[in-house]
Amino acid sequence: MQLKNPDADVYVPDGSTVAEALTKTTHVAVGAHQDDIEFMALHGILECFDDPDRWFSGITVGDGAGSPRSGPYGEYSDEEMRKVRVIEQRKAALVGGYACQIQLGFPSAAIKDASIEEVVVYLKAIFEGAAPEVVYLHNPADKHDTHVACCLRSIDALRMLPEDRRPQKVYGCEVWRGLDWMVDDDKEALHLDDRANIAGALCGVFDSQIAGGKRYDLAVQGRHLANATFFESHEVDAHDRLAFAMDLTPLIDDPSIRVADFTLGLLRNMKDDVTDRIVRMNRKV
Ligand SMILES: [Zn+2]
């Protein structure tokens, strides 16, 4: 694959060609920033880990230049920061045994501008080459603008695929905002019981962000532990760790559904659930 953007980076840990890596890919995650994939799509990474029939590929759309920095990285320029973040993402791909890791290197402003078609064009080309069975995206109710823009560009790209190249399942995942608010019937509970060691190592390689002042490694682990314990109020824990996700597959299967309407439908289900419970508990029986 030829990427016009000079800041783009393609890494295939086992040294095969990108085409070979994409052909064997079964699971793809698209994240806005370096580290988003590992924080939100551990389910896909761990499902594929050390499995000869399943391969995970990561796509990072942003260039990481605008990342916050402090501590040992406090004096880094945007350019130095960009380079550090690209290397950290490569480290995660090696630890996670990815088929490939593609970093498209777009500035945040370009991802957030819907008139820049290049982002969708690249994403479509990658999806077309991989034809993954499962795709992990940011979710449209995330509170980070670049995450939501990245999700929308990915949905546009997936909708352009011929039907036989479309994934069977598309998840919208948790980063900046958990998905505990969704009613259980709407929630996809992704099990993360195995290989907590690999999950910990994957989240820990992003030193520029963690040593730079945010304990994302602990926060991600804490969210997954809390999701598992608070999922069932009347039963013992069935799983050690859970990630929650929205099922975005209907948006790909039916491109006429507006992303905003779809997301507000989930919010409406939550509103009805809260309202119904209060009404029921005020009833004199
Ligand atoms: Zn991010």
Higher pLDDT, 130 or 210: 130
CA torsion, points 96, 102, 108, 112, in degrees to nearest 10? -110
What is the Å distance from ligand 1's center to 245 Cα? 16
Which residues line ion ligand 1, judged by CB < 5 Å?
Answer: 32-33, 36
Interval 247-257: pLDDT, tens: 999 999 999 99
* pLDDT of 50 higher than 60: yes
Task: Give Cβ neighbours of residue 69 (< 8 Å, ≥ 6 apart).
Answer: 76, 81, 208, 212
Cα 39 to averaged position of ligand 1 atoms, centre (Å): 9
pLDDT beyond 60 at 267: yes
CA 248 to ligand 1 centroid distance, Å: 19
Instruction: Classify residue 242 by its DSSP letter.
Output: E
More confident position, 21 or 209: 21
Q: Do the bridges between strand 134-138 and strand 169-173 make them parallel or antiparallel, or are there none, so unpaired? A: parallel
pLDDT given at position 3: 65
Helices (H), 175-258: 196-204, 207-210, 216-231, 249-253
Residue 108 C-alpha to ligand 1 middle, in angstroms?
10
pLDDT tens, residue by residue, 255-266: 999 999 999 999
Distance 236 CA to ligand 1 centre (A): 33
Centre of ligand 1 from the C-alpha of residue 203, in Å: 13
Task: Read off the pLDDT band of 144 (50, 70, 90).
Answer: very high
Q: Residue 93: which residues within 8 A CB-CB, separation 6 or more?
A: 11, 13, 58, 100, 101
CB 203 within 8 A of CB 220: yes
Q: How far is the CA of 13 from the centre of ligand 1 (A)?
A: 23
Question: pTM for this one?
Answer: 0.96
Q: How far is the CA of 257 from the centre of ligand 1 (A)?
A: 26
From ligand 1's centre to the CA of 42, what distance in Å?
A: 15
Contact criterion met (CB below 8 Å) for 33 and 67: yes
Residue 113 Cα to ligand 1 midpoint, Å, equals: 17
Return mean pLDDT, the chain. 94
What's the CA-to-centroid distance between 276 and ligand 1, angstroms? 35
Q: Which residues contact 31 (CB under 8 A, 6 or more apart)?
A: 37, 40, 41, 58, 59, 60, 61, 138, 150
* CB proximity list for 229: less than 8 A, separation 6 or greater: 237
